[in-house]
């Protein structure tokens, strides 16, 4: 076996993978095709994406939370009952989730960066349009619809881009980005100040401008992933193309044909398996794939060198890059048939219910127990800070890969459930504070892991449609949550029930994860059945 083919093969493989995200743990030496400067740039772009996601969280969440301040101003000027005005807020926050499937389609068509810029434009435009508002329905459309869709666009694009860029440290990057929500407590007094100075119209004008800042930060979402997908598609197609070319054109290598055909089959298996076996992400299958190809290349290389070389080069250049993508329909309903999706959505739905309801009722319960409103708001701020810190910690821990990420997720959810069930025992301020801290600690833990768990279960290719539909169902929970909590209070006249309800939800949600291993096995079997006839 000559040494010559290996360096070339390595170089080709690395130039294909060279555009991959630098955060991947690559066992081989850094790409020869790309200089170290480009590597650092890639890592830098990943931080840019995290920064953008952070900014999105701060501004989007800030806007949603400060809507309450605008509420009063709207009511006074534009008129309308408080129920009508609160519709604006609910349209805005629910569209953020419900618009996700539509946005997923747009993202796949146009790419994340244009979608994000469109989202920022929608928000800016919506804010500006709202300054001219004269009636509540007008505001519903201009603020509710436009802003809600804009938020959905931004959020989806940023989340998926983060997943695509930050492979190895996804949980930590996600946690950093989500910590932006912790900063939103600054936006409320700022908004109040602006309203006192400029009135609500001037404030909306200035907010529109601030939201426009998301346009340059959206430009940081460089579409490197297109090349990533292309390179992995190339790996797959190159394997099959090379195998085909080998068998067709190399008469001189007939003595090894049978041996090669077996290797061929196994090489073809690996790319398709790649699409199915997801738990540890694509990192594991990548090198395996290429080393199999290397093994395949070695036998024919010694005698068939020149033809292979030219064929390989041609295949490298002439591969249709979107071959893989075009096979997916535009509005992809396949997630709905996937058991893994059902598992995830079940958990997502209930965990969101368990998250929102106590937040709403914590302050009210503190007041009924005789805690002053200053102390009650102190509870909220401590909870906010604890949540942010615990998100970062949980993200870092999950990234160490000591065990599968959803194990952490399940553990946090169970702890949240237990904490909530114990909440009725908290009747004094110190106990309430302890509850708030514990709740925030575990909530931060599981919140940080939602996206990484989804990526682990599903992979990055189909993340758009999965995330879109999961967000849609979460949106239904988000709409139903607050009224449900309010109804619970009206029915039982005590806030204790809401916490018990939240605890029950939090305990129900991780149940679905126990089915995850069997769901994966089921998927594998299905995939094998599909592949069987093709190879046979």
Q: Which stretch binds another protein (CB under 8 A): 6-14, 100-108, 152-160, 254-262?
A: 6-14
Residue from the set 110, 141, 145, 206 that interacts with another protein by CB under 8 A: 206
When the beta carbons of 17 and 217 are compared against another protein, the nearer one is 217
Which secondary structure element, helix H or strand E, spans residue 436, and what is its range?
helix 429-458
Place of tokens 């001037």: 202
Q: Counting runs of H as helices and runs of E as strands, what totals does the chain give?
A: 23, 0
- Is the CB of residue 394 less than 8 Å from the CB of residue 443? no
202 belongs to the binding site for another protein (CB under 8 A):
yes
Contact residues for 273 (Cβ-Cβ < 8 A; gap 6+): 285, 527
- Is the CB of residue 170 less than 8 Å from the CB of residue 162? yes
302 belongs to the binding site for another protein (CB under 8 A):
no
Q: Which stretch binds another protein (CB under 8 A): 194-202, 282-290, 414-422, 425-433?
A: 194-202
Residue from the set 212, 411, 431, 484 that interacts with another protein by CB under 8 A: 212
Q: Which stretch binds another protein (CB under 8 A): 199-207, 242-250, 320-328, 494-502?
A: 199-207
Closest among 151, 156, 168 to 20, alpha carbons compared? 168
Q: How far is the CB of 441 from another protein (least distance, A)?
A: 37
Residue from the set 3, 25, 76, 337 that interacts with another protein by CB under 8 A: 76
Residue from the set 201, 229, 247, 531 that interacts with another protein by CB under 8 A: 201
385 belongs to the binding site for another protein (CB under 8 A):
no
Name which of residues 229 to 258 contact another protein (CB under 8 A).
none
When the beta carbons of 81 and 310 are compared against another protein, the nearer one is 310
- The four Cα atoms 113, 115, 119, 120 give a dihedral, to 10 degrees, of 20
Contact residues for 518 (Cβ-Cβ < 8 A; gap 6+): none
136 belongs to the binding site for another protein (CB under 8 A):
no
Residue from the set 34, 298, 324, 407 that interacts with another protein by CB under 8 A: 34
The DSSP symbol for 89 reads H
Residue from the set 183, 205, 273, 431 that interacts with another protein by CB under 8 A: 205
Q: How far is the CB of 8 from another protein (least distance, A)?
A: 6
Q: How far is the CB of 199 from another protein (least distance, A)?
A: 3
- Is the CB of residue 275 less than 8 Å from the CB of residue 460? no
| First-to-final CA distance of the chain | 31
Residue from the set 196, 248, 251, 490 that interacts with another protein by CB under 8 A: 196
Phi-psi region of 372 (alpha: psi -120 to 50; beta: other; left: phi over 0): beta
The DSSP symbol for 491 reads H
- Is the CB of residue 6 less than 8 Å from the CB of residue 28? no
CA distance 114 to 397: 34
Using CB under 8 A as the binding criterion, the count of chain residues that bind another protein stands at 37
CA distance 231 to 15: 9
226 belongs to the binding site for another protein (CB under 8 A):
no
- Is the CB of residue 406 less than 8 Å from the CB of residue 513? yes
Residue from the set 219, 342, 380, 389 that interacts with another protein by CB under 8 A: 219
When the beta carbons of 38 and 484 are compared against another protein, the nearer one is 38
When the beta carbons of 30 and 424 are compared against another protein, the nearer one is 30
Which secondary structure element, helix H or strand E, spans residue 401, and what is its range?
none
299 belongs to the binding site for another protein (CB under 8 A):
no
The DSSP symbol for 493 reads S
Positions in the binding site for another protein (CB under 8 A): 7-8, 11-12, 15, 33-35, 37-38, 41, 76-77, 195-199, 201-203, 205-206, 208-210, 212-213, 215-217, 219-220, 222, 309-310, 313
């Amino acid at each position: 076996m000559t040494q010559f083919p290996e360096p070339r093969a390595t170089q080709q493989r690395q130039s294909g993978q060279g555009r991959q995200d630098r955060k991947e743990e690559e066992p081989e030496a850094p790409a020869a095709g790309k200089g170290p400067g480009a590597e650092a740039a890639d890592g830098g772009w990943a931080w840019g994406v995290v920064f953008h996601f952070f900014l999105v969280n701060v501004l989007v969440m800030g806007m949603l939370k400060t809507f309450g301040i605008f509420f009063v101003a709207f009511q006074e000027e534009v008129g309308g009952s408080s129920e009508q005005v609160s519709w604006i807020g609910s349209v805005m926050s629910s569209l953020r989730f419900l618009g996700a499937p539509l946005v997923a389609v747009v993202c796949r068509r146009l790419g994340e960066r244009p979608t994000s810029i469109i989202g920022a434009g929608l928000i800016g435009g919506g804010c500006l349009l709202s300054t001219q508002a004269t009636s509540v329905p007008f505001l519903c459309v201009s603020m509710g619809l436009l802003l809600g869709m804009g938020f959905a666009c931004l959020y989806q694009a940023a989340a998926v881009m983060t997943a695509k860029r930050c492979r190895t440290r996804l949980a930590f990057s996600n946690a950093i980005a989500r910590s932006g929500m912790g900063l939103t407590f600054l936006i409320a007094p700022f908004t109040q100040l602006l309203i006192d100075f400029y009135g609500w119209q001037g404030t909306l004008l200035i907010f529109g401008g601030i939201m426009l800042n998301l346009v340059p930060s959206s430009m940081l979402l460089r579409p490197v992933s297109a090349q990533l997908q292309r390179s992995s598609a190339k790996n797959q197609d190159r394997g099959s193309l090379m195998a085909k070319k080998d068998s067709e054109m190399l008469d001189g290598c007939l003595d090894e044909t049978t041996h090669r055909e077996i290797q061929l089959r196994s090489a073809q298996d690996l790319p398709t398996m790649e699409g199915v076996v997801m738990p540890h992400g694509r990192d594991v299958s990548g090198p395996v794939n290429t080393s199999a190809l290397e093994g395949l290349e070695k036998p024919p290389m010694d005698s068939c060198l020149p033809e292979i070389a030219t064929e390989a080069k041609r295949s490298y250049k002439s591969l249709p890059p979107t071959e893989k993508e075009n096979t997916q329909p535009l509005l992809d309903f396949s997630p709905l048939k996937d058991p893994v999706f059902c598992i995830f959505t079940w958990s997502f739905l209930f965990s969101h219910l368990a998250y929102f309801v106590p937040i709403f009722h914590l302050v009210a319960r503190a007041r009924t127990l005789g805690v002053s409103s200053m102390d009650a708001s102190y509870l909220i701020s401590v909870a906010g800070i604890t949540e942010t810190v615990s998100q970062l910690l949980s993200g870092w821990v999950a990234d160490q890969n000591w065990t599968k990420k959803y194990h952490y997720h399940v553990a946090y959810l169970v702890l949240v459930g237990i904490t909530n069930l114990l909440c009725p025992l908290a009747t004094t301020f110190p106990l309430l504070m302890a509850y708030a801290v514990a709740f925030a600690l575990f909530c931060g833990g599981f919140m940080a892991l939602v996206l990484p768990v989804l990526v682990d279960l599903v992979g990055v290719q189909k993340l758009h449609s999965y995330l879109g539909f999961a967000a849609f169902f979460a949106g239904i929970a988000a709409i139903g949550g607050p009224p449900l909590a309010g109804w619970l209070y009206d029915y039982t006249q005590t806030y204790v029930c809401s916490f018990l309800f939240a605890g029950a939800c939090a305990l129900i949600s991780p149940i679905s994860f126990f089915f995850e291993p069997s769901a994966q096995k089921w998927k594998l079997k299905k995939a094998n059945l599909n592949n069987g006839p093709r190879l046979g």
